[in-house]
Amino acid sequence: MIRKAVPGDLDAIEEIYDALFRADEKRGHSYTNWQRGLYPTRDTARKAGKAGTLYVVEMGGDIAAAVNLNQVQPDEYAAIPWTIPAKDSEVLVIHTLVVHPVIAGKGLGRKLVAFAEGLAAGMGCKAIRLDTYEGNEPARSFYERQGYRLAGSAPFHFEGVIDETLVCYEKEI
């Protein structure tokens, strides 16, 4: 079941972030370029929850995945040659989609993306946009399989703490 997150979900969401960091550390490589203590953090989830834009996948009473869906486009998006004409109010942005690594590959990411597309359609949006780290081949491949088109890339000062190059994707709704 996908639902809006509530404050009581923060521990579980923070555990998903931590589990992802532990999996990266065990593997010796991070696909996401997220950094423990910088992004994402409990505060990242708390702020999205307070804004009413944080959604979770609940399975058997446990939180298995989370995503922030809002209309906040980072300043760096202005440098991207988007091909789907849309006003800011007609764009939904996918941020921080995360699935607990012990159940990754079971379709939860696809369900969250489909949910985002339905939400965007219900809001009258014309496009969904998102960004991911240029080296995150699993995410890039995932979004391309969901019908998202690479729009471009740009250097980002992500969340004001991480300098990196992000690739941006879009899909018409």
Please determine, for residue 156, whether its predicted confidence score (pLDDT) is greater than 90.
no
pTM above 0.75, yes or no: yes
Where helices occur in 28-146 by DSSP H, the ranges are 42-51, 108-122, 137-145
Lowest mean pLDDT, pick from 27-31, 72-76, 142-146 = 27-31
How many domains does the chain fold into? Answer: 1
Where helices occur in the chain by DSSP H, the ranges are 10-27, 42-51, 108-122, 137-145
pLDDT for 58: 96
Mean pLDDT score, 120-143: 97
Q: For the chain, what percent of residues have pLDDT higher than 90?
A: 88
Q: For the chain, what percent of residues have pLDDT higher than 70?
A: 99
**pLDDT-derived band of residue 164, with 50, 70 and 90 as boundaries?**
confident
Quickly count: other Cβ atoms within 10 Å of residue 137's Cβ.
Answer: 11
Please determine, for residue 161, whether its predicted confidence score (pLDDT) is greater than 80.
no
pLDDT for 157: 83
CA quadruple 51, 47, 158, 30: dihedral, nearest 10? -120
Please determine, for residue 159, whether its predicted confidence score (pLDDT) is greater than 80.
no
DSSP category for residue 147: T
| Residue 73 structural domain | 2-172
Please determine, for residue 12, whether its predicted confidence score (pLDDT) is greater than 90.
yes
Lowest mean pLDDT, pick from 21-30, 59-68, 119-128 = 21-30
Say if residue 124 is exposed, middle or buried (CB neighbours under 10 Å; 0-12, 13-18, 19+).
exposed
Query: What CATH number does the domain containing 145 carry?
Result: 3.40.630.30
Amino acid type, 90: E
Please determine, for residue 122, whether its predicted confidence score (pLDDT) is greater than 90.
yes
pLDDT for 163: 83
Cα atoms found within 13 Å of the Cα of residue 71, Cβ hemisphere only: 13
Residue 3, CA distances (Å) to 28, 30, 126 in order: 33, 28, 23
